[in-house]
């Protein structure tokens, strides 16, 4: 057996190192990706503590082991706002990820490095699909633990029992549900992220307008000419379909329950991933021929 057979294996550490370096560069150049979720989580914690005398403390003190209310609602509110913030940050990042390096002419520098266009675009896609969900998860977990500790300390000072507080809300189960929800949403939003990356590398000016105006015009044409809400319904499905397909509301124990078999058998998931692959390949090819603006 020749040494050529081991070439892909020997190149793997270098490729992983370059990929990790590329991801670190994205986080360094777009620090709002870290600041935004952590900032919202900090505001949620401050709101939780500031609202203690105005009803939050009563809700938490009345929490029982068999209910997810009280402290559980604080967990859910924090997770909701952090997920919304992470998604908004991902949209703005994807629109600027490839356009920004052309605008400031840094593409001439980055193209001189031993990193292929495929690796570069893949690293940029990994940020909204992998890195941002992890940042959101860590932010929610830290904030929830801080809420639990703060509530325990305050209730202990007020003379309330705190043992039931640690069993209520099921923090480990909630964290696993959050990780599950973040995974589902990342897979579901893959075509949106890839489409925005494609617009980012293709548009010479105002990528936000090129991303939004065609969608608005398409919906307007469907409504005014064909009197149809099909386009609007598709937009709603593309944004909320992961929740409706992969989660089920459960009042008894937790606010959501897993329905993974329905999600992974959904045509919307697989058609979306196929579209994401097409957009991704197009973005790589366009970046290969892109030039400074």
Q: Indicate the pLDDT class of residue 67, thresholds 50, 70 and 90.
A: low
Q: Give the chain's end-to-end CA distance (angstroms, integer).
A: 49
The share of the chain scoring above pLDDT 90, in percent, equals 49
Give the domain extent around 243: 29-289
Question: Is 102 among the domain residues?
Answer: yes
Q: Indicate the pLDDT class of residue 291, thresholds 50, 70 and 90.
A: low
Residue 145 is encoded by which pair of tokens? 């633990």
pLDDT at res. 7: 45
Mean pLDDT over residues 113-124, rounded? 81
Q: Which residue has the higher pLDDT, 12 or 236?
A: 236
Question: Is 193 among the domain residues?
Answer: yes
pLDDT higher than threshold 60 for residue 1:
no
Residue 90 is encoded by which pair of tokens? 């991902």
pLDDT higher than threshold 90 for residue 99:
no
Counts of helices then strands in the chain (DSSP H, E): 15, 2
Q: What is the DSSP string of 171-217?
A: HHHHHHHHHHHHHHHHHHTHHHHHHHHHHHHH-SS-HHHHHHHHHHH
Question: Is 134 among the domain residues?
Answer: yes
Smallest CA-to-CA distance from 137 within 88, 192, 190, 180 is with 180
Mean pLDDT across the chain, nearest whole number? 84
pLDDT higher than threshold 80 for residue 201:
yes
Q: What is the pTM of this model?
A: 0.87
Provide the domain count of the chain: 1
The share of the chain scoring above pLDDT 70, in percent, equals 82
Mean pLDDT over residues 52-78, rounded? 74
pLDDT at res. 252: 47
Q: Under DSSP, is residue 247 helix (H, G, I), strand (E, B) or coil? A: strand
Question: Is 245 among the domain residues?
Answer: yes
pLDDT at res. 257: 59
- Main-chain phi, psi angles of 41, to 5 degrees: -65, -40
pLDDT higher than threshold 60 for residue 217:
yes
Question: Is 7 among the domain residues?
Answer: no
pLDDT at res. 229: 93
Highest mean pLDDT: which range of 116-120, 181-185, 242-246: 181-185
Q: Which residue has the higher pLDDT, 268 or 109?
A: 268
> How far out from the chain centre does Cα 191 lie?
13
> How far out from the chain centre does Cα 106 lie?
27
Residue 264 is encoded by which pair of tokens? 């992974």
pLDDT higher than threshold 70 for residue 29:
yes
pLDDT higher than threshold 80 for residue 159:
no
- Main-chain phi, psi angles of 198, to 5 degrees: -65, -45
Smallest CA-to-CA distance from 76 within 84, 87, 88, 66 is with 84
Question: Is 230 among the domain residues?
Answer: yes
Question: Is 12 among the domain residues?
Answer: no
Question: Is 195 among the domain residues?
Answer: yes
pLDDT at res. 155: 81
């Amino acid at each position: 057996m020749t040494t050529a057979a081991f070439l892909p294996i020997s190149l793997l550490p270098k490729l992983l190192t370059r990929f990790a370096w590329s991801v670190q560069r994205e986080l360094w150049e777009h620090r709002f990706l870290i600041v935004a979720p952590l900032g919202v989580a900090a505001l949620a914690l401050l709101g939780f503590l500031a609202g203690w005398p105005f009803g939050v403390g009563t809700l938490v003190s009345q929490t029982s082991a068999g209910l997810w209310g009280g402290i559980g609602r604080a967990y859910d509110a924090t997770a909701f706002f952090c997920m919304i913030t992470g998604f908004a940050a991902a949209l703005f990042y994807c629109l600027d990820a490839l356009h920004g390096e052309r605008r400031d002419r840094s593409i001439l520098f980055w193209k001189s490095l031993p990193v292929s266009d495929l690796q570069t675009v893949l690293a940029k896609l990994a940020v909204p699909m992998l890195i941002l969900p992890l940042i959101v998860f860590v932010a929610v977990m830290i904030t929830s633990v801080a809420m639990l500790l703060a509530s325990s300390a305050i209730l202990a000072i007020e003379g309330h029992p705190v043992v039931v507080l640690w069993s209520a809300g099921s923090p480990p189960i909630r964290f696993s549900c959050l990780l599950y929800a973040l995974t589902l949403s990342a897979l579901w939003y893959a075509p949106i992220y890839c489409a925005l990356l494609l617009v980012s590398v293709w548009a010479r000016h105002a990528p936000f307008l090129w991303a939004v105006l065609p969608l608005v015009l398409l919906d307007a044409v469907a409504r005014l000419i064909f009197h149809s809400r099909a386009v609007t319904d598709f937009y709603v499905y593309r944004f909320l379909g992961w929740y409706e397909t992969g989660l089920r509301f459960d009042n008894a124990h937790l606010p959501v329950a897993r329905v993974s078999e329905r999600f992974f058998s959904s045509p919307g998931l697989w058609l979306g991933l196929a579209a994401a692959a097409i957009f991704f390949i197009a973005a790589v090819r366009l970046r290969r021929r892109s030039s400074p603006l």
